[in-house]
Structure 1
Amino acid sequence: MKTKLMVAALALGVLGACSGASRDIPPPSLAGVEVTRAGLAKQLFGNKARPAALPTAPYGFYSKGCIAGAVELPETGPTWQAMRLSRNRNWGHPETIDFLKTLSRKAAALPGSNGLYIGDISQPAGGPMLTGHASHQIGLDADIWLMPASLGLDRQQRENISAVSMRRANGAYVNEKWSRYQQEVVKAAAKDPRVERIFIFPGAKVQMCDTETGDRSWLRKVRPWYGHHYHFHVRLKCPGNAPGCVAQDPPPPGDGCADARQWQRNILNPPPPDPNAPKPKPKRELTMADLPQSCQAVLAR
C-alpha cells in the first residue's frame, strides 16, 4: 500500500541535519504538497527544473541521494563551457562548482587548450536521473571531457559536437589522441584535496602509471572503470559541514597501478565465465522510499 507523506510548513533554513540515509532525521514538511514514497524518484527529480530553496546540503550517497540549495555552473566562463545544456545538469554543490572553475583555469594554462568542456554534474535538486548515470545524485560528481576545449561553441554546437574517444583495444590502451595534456589535467584534478575519486578507462590509468616520473601519490585516487574514455569522472569528498552526506570509503593503499594492469589483462584476455556464478538481477528503479527522508523536503521546495 502506498505511503503518502503530507507535508506541512517549514521555515527556510530549518531542514534537519542527518548523518546518512539510515539515520536520516524526518524532514519538516510543506502545507498542501503530497509526495508519494512509492513513486519513481527519477521521474520526480528529473522533472524538477529549479533547485530546492533551502540551505545547501547534500543528503545520502552519491548513487542514492539528493541536494538542497544546489548552485548552477554558468553556461560559459572564461575557461569553460557547460555541454549538453538541454539536460539541465549543470548544477552542483558550491565546492563542486568552485573545483571545476579552478581546474578549468589550470587546463587553460596547458599548451593546446583554452580550458574545459564540462559534462553532467547533477540535476537542480540532484536525485536519480531520467537517463544515464547511477551516481551524480548529490552534486559532488562531475564529468569532464578529455578533449582540449577551444571554447566559443553556441548552444546548438554544444548539443551536437561529439567528444573524442581516447581509447584503443576496447580500453586496454590509449590511442593517438592521448597526450601529456590529458595526464596533466587528470593529475591536477587528483591533487586537489577535495577530490575523493577519479574514474577513467583502464588503459589511461596504465598509461599514467607507466609515464609518471614525479610524485605518484595522486595516482591512488585515479581508478579504472568501464567506459570513461570520452570523459573522466571526478567525485568530491563529502564537505566537512554536511552531516547528511554519506562518505565513500577511501581508495585502497598504494598507487593502484597493479589493479589497473589486471583490468588491462582482463580486457585483452577475458577470463572464462564462471558457470556457477549467479545470474545478475535486474536493476530496480529507485523510489522515494529508497532515498534519505530529507529528500522529501528537497523535492517539495
Structure 2
Amino acid sequence: MKAIRVRSYRLAAAVLLCAALGTTTEAQEAQTAKQLFGSVKLPSRSEPEPLGFYAKGCMAGAVALPTDGPTWQAMRLSRNRRWGNPVMISLLEQFSRDAARLGWGSGILVGDISQPRGGPMITGHASHQVGLDADIWFTPKPAQPLTVQQREDMPFTSMLDKSKFLTVNPKRWSDTHARLIMQAASYPQVERVFVNPAIKKKLCETWTGDRSLLGKVRPIYGHDEHFHIRISCPAGSSDCQKQAAAPKVDDCNSKGLAWWFTKEPWAPAPKPDPNKPPVKPRQVMLSDLPKACAAVLSAAARSEADATYGGRALSYSSDAPAPAAVTATETPAMVPPSEVPLPSSRPQR
C-alpha cells in the first residue's frame, strides 16, 4: 500500500512538472527569441555546449572573458556580450598575446562575443549566437588602460577611404594590420575571419606570407572598423552545426571577391509597391531555435564568481601545431573560382 502511495505521489509530481514546463513554454513563446535571450544576465550552470548554428542557436555553460587582461580589454561592457565557449575565450587570450608580440599596441580591444546564453540579439549581429564568434577592433589596446566610460564612448576607426569606393585608407592601414588579420587566420581552430571587401582585396594585393590562409579571410558587408573571428565547432559538440569549409587557397581572383566591386551588392532595395499592404517581417521565436535552447533559458544560472574564465589551459583538438607569429615570405598560389555570395544587411555596430 505504501509503495502504491509513493508511486502515486511521483506520478502527481511528474504531471505538475510537465504542466509547469508547459506554462513556461507558453510564456516564452509570447516573446521573441531576442527578447528572451537579451534579458538574461548570467549563463547557465552546465557544461559548455554550442547548440545549433552560428546564426541560429544558443549556448550552454558560457564563460566570460575577463574585462581586463595583460594584453586585452573588453569593450562596450554595458552590452553584456563578452560571453563565449571556453575554447573561444582561450583563443582570444592567446591571440591577444600574439598581437602584442606583432607590435599591435599592448594587445587587442575585444568587441562583442555572445550574450550569456547566446541566442539572437536585440540589436546588431545575425550571428554570434553560439559563443564561437568574436569581434576585434581595428584599434590597438593603448598602453594606458581604458576606463569603463572610455570603453563606452571610444569611436570606431574605419580602415576605408570614404572618398573612394571600397578602398583602404593608406594613412590608416599598415603592415601590422595585415599581420594581425593573418595571425588570426593562422590558428587551426579558426574557420573564418570576416573583413570588409576592400581589406580582403588589399591583403590579396600585398600579402606575401602563406597565401593559403587568405581563403579563411572572407569579404562581407561592414567590417571596416573591426574584424570578426569565427572558430569551428569544438570536438565532441554533437549539437553544434558546422558550416561549409572555407577555401584552402587565396581565392583572390574569384568571382566571389570580384562581385563585391560591382554595383549589385550596393544597389538600393527596390521601392515597395504602394498598391500592396506592407509585409511585417516575421520575428524569430524560441520555437525556431534548437529545442535544447528552451532548457538553456530555463536552467539555473552560474554565479558571477564562477562565470568568468579563469585562464586555465584549454587544448584544441587538432593535429596541426600551434602556429608561431605570422611572417611574410613569398608563396605562389593556385586560384580557382568561388561561388558568388548573396547579399545581406549591413551589421549594426
The answer for the alignment partner of 1:90 in structure 2 is 82
What is the aligned-residue RMSD (CA, Å)? 2.8
The answer for the alignment partner of 1:18 in structure 2 is none
Does the 8 Å CA contact 1:45/1:127 hold for their aligned counterparts? yes
Residue 218 (structure 2) pairs with residue 215 (structure 1): no
Residue 292 (structure 2) pairs with residue 294 (structure 1): yes
Q: Residues 171 and 120 from structure 1, CA distance in 2 versus in 1: closer, same or farther, beyond 3 angstroms?
A: farther
Q: Structure 2 matches for 1:278-289, cutoff 5 A?
A: 283-289=281-287
Does the 8 Å CA contact 2:136/2:228 hold for their aligned counterparts? yes
> How far, CA to CA, are the matches of 1:87 and 1:271 in structure 2?
29
> How far, CA to CA, are the matches of 1:7 and 1:196 in structure 2?
45
> How far, CA to CA, are the matches of 1:274 and 1:138 in structure 2?
30
Q: Residues 297 and 33 from structure 1, CA distance in 2 versus in 1: closer, same or farther, beyond 3 angstroms?
A: farther
Q: Residues 171 and 197 from structure 1, CA distance in 2 versus in 1: closer, same or farther, beyond 3 angstroms?
A: farther
Q: Report SS of the residue matched to 1:210.
A: helix
- The structure with the greater share of residues assigned to strand is 1
> What TM-score, normalized to structure 1?
0.83
Paired AA for residue 265 in structure 1: F
Q: 1:161 aligns with which of 154, 157, 165?
A: 154
> What TM-score, normalized to structure 2?
0.72
Q: Percent identity?
A: 48
Paired AA for residue 51 in structure 1: P
> How far, CA to CA, are the matches of 1:48 and 1:7 in structure 2?
25
> How far, CA to CA, are the matches of 1:129 and 1:218 in structure 2?
30
Q: Deviations over 1:183-228 (max 9, x none)?
A: 1111111010011111100111111111111211110000100000
Q: 1:179 aligns with which of 171, 174, 180?
A: 174
Paired AA for residue 34 in structure 1: T
Q: 1:202 aligns with which of 197, 203, 225?
A: 197
Residue 28 (structure 2) pairs with residue 34 (structure 1): no
Paired AA for residue 217 in structure 1: S
Q: Structure 2 matches for 1:62-77, cutoff 5 A?
A: 62-77=54-69
Residue 51 (structure 2) pairs with residue 53 (structure 1): no
> How far, CA to CA, are the matches of 2:17 and 2:60 in structure 1?
18
Q: Residues 270 and 30 from structure 1, CA distance in 2 versus in 1: closer, same or farther, beyond 3 angstroms?
A: closer
- Residue 274 (structure 1) shift: 11
> How far, CA to CA, are the matches of 1:71 and 1:7 in structure 2?
33
Q: 2:231 aligns with which of 227, 236, 239?
A: 236
The answer for the alignment partner of 1:22 in structure 2 is none
Does the 8 Å CA contact 1:107/1:185 hold for their aligned counterparts? yes
Residue 223 (structure 2) pairs with residue 189 (structure 1): no
Greater CA deviation, 258-267 or 71-80?
A: 258-267
Residue 266 (structure 2) pairs with residue 266 (structure 1): no
Which ranges of structure 1 fall in alignment gaps of 5 or more residues? Answer: 1-5, 10-28, 276-280
Q: Report SS of the residue matched to 1:193.
A: coil
Residue 114 (structure 2) pairs with residue 122 (structure 1): yes
Q: Residues 78 and 33 from structure 1, CA distance in 2 versus in 1: closer, same or farther, beyond 3 angstroms?
A: farther
Does the 8 Å CA contact 1:60/1:292 hold for their aligned counterparts? yes
Q: Deviations over 1:216-255 (max 9, x none)?
A: 1110000100000000011110111100000011124531
What is the aligned residue count? 274
> How far, CA to CA, are the matches of 1:139 and 1:164 in structure 2?
25
> How far, CA to CA, are the matches of 2:54 and 2:269 in structure 1?
31
Which ranges of structure 2 fall in alignment gaps of 5 or more residues? Answer: 1-14, 271-278, 300-349
Paired AA for residue 262 in structure 1: A
Paired AA for residue 155 in structure 1: V
The answer for the alignment partner of 1:251 in structure 2 is 246
Does the 8 Å CA contact 1:30/1:297 hold for their aligned counterparts? no
Does the 8 Å CA contact 2:107/2:141 hold for their aligned counterparts? yes
Q: Report SS of the residue matched to 1:265.
A: coil
Higher Rg of the two aligned structures: 2
> How far, CA to CA, are the matches of 1:7 and 1:156 in structure 2?
48
Paired AA for residue 181 in structure 1: T
Q: Report SS of the residue matched to 2:92.
A: helix
